[in-house]
Structure 1
Amino acid sequence: MSLLPDSTSRHADTEAALLPALVERWSPRAYDPSAEVDASVIRTILEAARWAPSAANVQPWRFIVARRGTPEFTAVHDSLMGFNRAWADSAALLIVNIAEIVDTEGKPRPWARYDLGQAVAHLTVQAQHEGLHTHQMGGFEADALREGFSLGERFEPVSITAIGVLGDPEALPDALRERESAPRTRLPLEELVLNAPAAV
């Protein structure tokens, strides 16, 4: 009988004290296929995204929220490519993260993707705080989502977020099971901050 992973083993080994949700956040692929997310929790994580900062406060983010077992979920899942299809069907939710790349007058919104990224980060941290896990995906057919959800040219699907309750990694294919327990690593700050060590 397999056991769920010890979540503390996935905590970030940080060099400074961070918020618990940031330390505990990681991107699993094994989700509990029977777990559901309450509507009030979905609203809470979307509210976190709503209050993200954006250039000139234009808020150029939109979301498609697809619950497992709905036609919307099937449509989003069918757009996934590669290994993503092998595990994402167990997530409780698939959220399509969309940038409004031009305004209603056709003028470009040059910071829309950046702003969307901030909104998704807010959503991710709030979801972790709510006891959920998230996994961001870029491997999907954007045109299928454009057509399936009538997005038009103003809106660009940028990523998909799987959200759910941690599941059993033994249910994953071998290659993905190995990734689930692989050590977590990050580049040191000295490589990320271009004027280090003066700045940090």
Structure 2
Amino acid sequence: MYSTEEQPIKLADTDYPIHKLLQKRWSPRAFSEKAIDSKLLNQLFEAARWAPSSYNEQPWRFIIARKEDQEAYEKLASVMNEFNQSWAMDAPVLVLALTKTTFDLDGRDNPHAEHDLGQAIAHLTFEATRHNLYVHQMAGILPQRARELYEISEDYKPMTMFAIGYKDDPESLNDKLKKQETSPRIRKDLDEIIYDGKWDQ
């Protein structure tokens, strides 16, 4: 097994030069159980706190569970689907991300809340990457179970979960996940996502 410091880095093979943190950011499934220092964890959420948002509403909320608090951790883990439970429960920290669906300003629906939550998690992710921590975001959650377990009101929407931790040896995964973990990273070409002054879809 590798130590957390010896893990090979799976850099993005970019067509144009980008910042090393962006190149290094990746979503592994092989996580070490090594605990994350509380001050460092707070640093990640401080980065999220300073993300931009519509009207500076900051409509993101996070429920955090650390593995050392087994009861809280297992409660939050039960909000993930079975597939995500099969690998994410090695990570030392799990997080449920929610949006506040209305503006504090005037009570109107906030149609930008999900976009703003994404920006906050991106800020957190890049701060994590700076400290050799990795973040894997998960869409596979059970929102209604989250509502029931945590008594979440209709003003808030459970959106996604993510695991935070240090990378571990892919050998810790089953064969299918190990193959995904070690396969090359790919992205659409720029000309598939950029439309220069026109729209032809």
Separation in 2, partners of 1:109, 1:131: 34
Equivalent residue, structure 1, for 2:121: 120
Report the CA distance between 1:136 and its aligned residue: 0.5
Separation in 1, partners of 2:197, 2:60: 34
Equivalent residue, structure 2, for 1:63: 62
Equivalent residue, structure 1, for 2:40: 41
The letter of the residue matching 1:181 is T
Q: Map of 1:45-124 to 2, 5 A cutoff? A: 45-70=44-69, 71-103=71-103, 106-124=107-125
Matched-pair contact (CA < 8 Å) for 1:190–1:196: no
Separation in 2, partners of 1:44, 1:102: 27
Equivalent residue, structure 2, for 1:22: 22
Matched-pair contact (CA < 8 Å) for 1:103–1:154: no
Name the CA shift for 1:38/1:3 in 2 (closer, same or farther; >3 Å).
Answer: closer
Matched residue count: 194
Matched-pair contact (CA < 8 Å) for 2:57–2:103: no
Separation in 1, partners of 2:172, 2:55: 45
Separation in 2, partners of 1:6, 1:99: 34
Q: Given the two structures, how large is their TM-score scaled by the length of structure 2?
A: 0.90
Indicate the SS of the match to 1:116.
helix
The letter of the residue matching 1:36 is A
Equivalent residue, structure 2, for 1:190: 191
The letter of the residue matching 1:143 is Q
Name the CA shift for 1:6/1:43 in 2 (closer, same or farther; >3 Å).
Answer: closer
Separation in 1, partners of 2:72, 2:113: 24
> What do you get for the CA RMSD once the two structures are aligned?
1.9
Question: Identity across aligned pairs (percent)?
Answer: 37
Equivalent residue, structure 1, for 2:139: 138
Report the CA distance between 1:6 and its aligned residue: 5.2
Matched-pair contact (CA < 8 Å) for 1:60–1:101: yes
Matched-pair contact (CA < 8 Å) for 2:52–2:116: yes
Give the unaligned 5+ runs of structure 1: none
Report the CA distance between 1:59 and its aligned residue: 0.6
Separation in 2, partners of 1:154, 1:95: 19
Report the CA distance between 1:131 and its aligned residue: 1.1
Stretches (4+) displaced over 3 A? 2-6, 103-106
Report the CA distance between 1:3 and its aligned residue: 4.8
Report the CA distance between 1:192 and its aligned residue: 0.8
Indicate the SS of the match to 2:141.
coil
Indicate the SS of the match to 1:11.
coil
| Stretch deviating more after TM superposition (14-23 or 99-108) | 99-108
Matched-pair contact (CA < 8 Å) for 2:7–2:167: no
Separation in 1, partners of 2:86, 2:37: 25
Q: Given the two structures, how large is their TM-score scaled by the length of structure 1?
A: 0.91
Give the unaligned 5+ runs of structure 2: none
Separation in 2, partners of 1:109, 1:147: 23
List per-residue Cα deviations over 1:83-109 (Å, max 9, x = no partner): 211111110111111100124565211
Separation in 1, partners of 2:197, 2:87: 40
| Stretch deviating more after TM superposition (52-61 or 72-81) | 72-81
